[in-house]
Structure 1
Amino acid sequence: MMRETTANGLKIVYREEGPADAPLMVLIHGRTANHNDWNGIIQHFARRYHVLAPDLRGHGESAYPGSYALPDMADDVAGLLDGRRAVIVAHSLGAMVAFHLAMRRPELVERLVLEDPGAPLPMTGRAALVRDDSTGFDWEMVLQTERQFVDPDPAWAEGLTRLAVPTLVLSGGPSSQIRAEPVAELIPGAALVTIDVGHLIHRDARAAFLEAVEEFLEA
């Protein structure tokens, strides 16, 4: 079921599935995607979780405010949670938003699953962005988040070293353009699982993705 709320002062649209009295889980999509990126995954987890899958600001049907700092995007998710504690499963840009949420509001995060996250370390060798006629997201969001990927605030990496939330990092392996391993190295006690299928693990190796996440959640 699609719903709409105001979180952190913005319109946030989200999909809601699963029993209302079940433990809460939030699925956060990657850059330029939306809640539909989790089709199939939502249904799997909704059997035993109350699942929320928002469109991040600048994506889908949520607000396009023109400002896309990663900490602000994390505050949007905190607003959606409204004080509730949740398991967070997140991909790519969404995984970076998720670890900002865990750093800023650790009391809201029960467990953290980061699928092929970019590390908050300077990125080199990034291909130049080419704006095209793609729709469904705000191009300003792409430009602003790219700048934060290339030149992140050094305090972000330091913040990860103090994170005390149980964390699983899933790496897409050498087939991915992203190196997720540094995130696992920064977070104390983080588990690292490599599934060498590239950046879209939950799409291209769904069974392996679900097996790794379920094993972590049941530990």
Structure 2
Amino acid sequence: MREATANGIKLVYREEGSEADPLLVLLHGRTADHNNWNGITQHFARRYHVLVPDLRGHGASDHPGSYALTDMADDIAGLLAGRRAVVVGHSLGGVVAYFLAVRHPELVERLVLEDPVPPVPMTGRAPIEEDDSTGFDWQMMHQTEKQLISPDPTLPGVLAGITAPTLVVSGGPSSHIRSEPLAALIPGAELVTIDAGHLIHENARAEFLGVVDDFLKI
């Protein structure tokens, strides 16, 4: 494990693969950490220099108490330090990834969004109730939930400015997220549905990797 100061906070990350290879970043979902990509990391490390950070408020990275999605995207920009990368994000990590592509387009070579929440208002979500779960900051849960339920109304239009080739992988009817509308907001985005629920890369790993490899032309 390594650590870096990015956007003013400590980010802890796993690094695998050769530094001579193109860069690929894996961004985990909410309440998870870099371990959520175990197996996936090794698959891509055969061809990429892979960075797998714990997002702020997760794992061993700093828990600063402030969790604007824009800040989370800027954290990853700081970690990249001017280097272009393929960015793969699951769930919250996918949201962070599309904010990164909007705010720092020069850093994103290709974008893979695995079942993220699209930037449309949501209703009917049960309030978050804290329990004894650890490994993340509960303030991160509360603050990101507010932003996901009531996103910036200008964001759908802003996504039209994403220039990186984009793949949206939906978990289909088995998922509690409807990520399909996101593909229509990003010019030229490809949509693939794998009816495996929200945790596509866990529940249908081989199919997920095949779809992503095809998109990346591996």
TM-score range, shorter chain: over 0.9
Over aligned residue pairs, what C-alpha RMSD do you find?
0.8
Equivalent AA in structure 1 for residue 213 of structure 2:
E
Query: Is 1:116 matched with 2:120?
Result: no
Pairwise CA distance, 1:218? 0.5
2:81 maps to 82
Q: Structure 1: which 4+ aligned runs deviate by more than 4 Å?
A: none
CA deviations on 1:37-65 (whole Å, 9 max, x unpaired) are: 00000000000100000000000000001
2:195 maps to 196
| Distance in 1 of aligned mates of 2:154 and 2:63 | 27
Query: Is 1:24 matched with 2:23?
Result: yes
Equivalent AA in structure 2 for residue 164 of structure 1:
T
1:142 maps to 141
Equivalent AA in structure 2 for residue 155 of structure 1:
T
| Distance in 2 of aligned mates of 1:130 and 1:212 | 36
Where does the alignment leave 5 or more consecutive residues of structure 2 unmatched? none
Equivalent AA in structure 2 for residue 8 of structure 1:
N
State, as a whole percentage, how many aligned pairs show the same letter: 69
Query: Is 1:54 matched with 2:33?
Result: no
Query: Is 1:97 matched with 2:80?
Result: no
1:183 maps to 182
Pairwise CA distance, 1:121? 0.9
Equivalent AA in structure 2 for residue 129 of structure 1:
I
Equivalent AA in structure 2 for residue 167 of structure 1:
T
1:172 maps to 171
| Distance in 1 of aligned mates of 2:143 and 2:183 | 25
Pairwise CA distance, 1:189? 0.5
| Distance in 1 of aligned mates of 2:74 and 2:209 | 27
Where does the alignment leave 5 or more consecutive residues of structure 1 unmatched? none
Equivalent pairs counted in the alignment come to 218
1:163 maps to 162
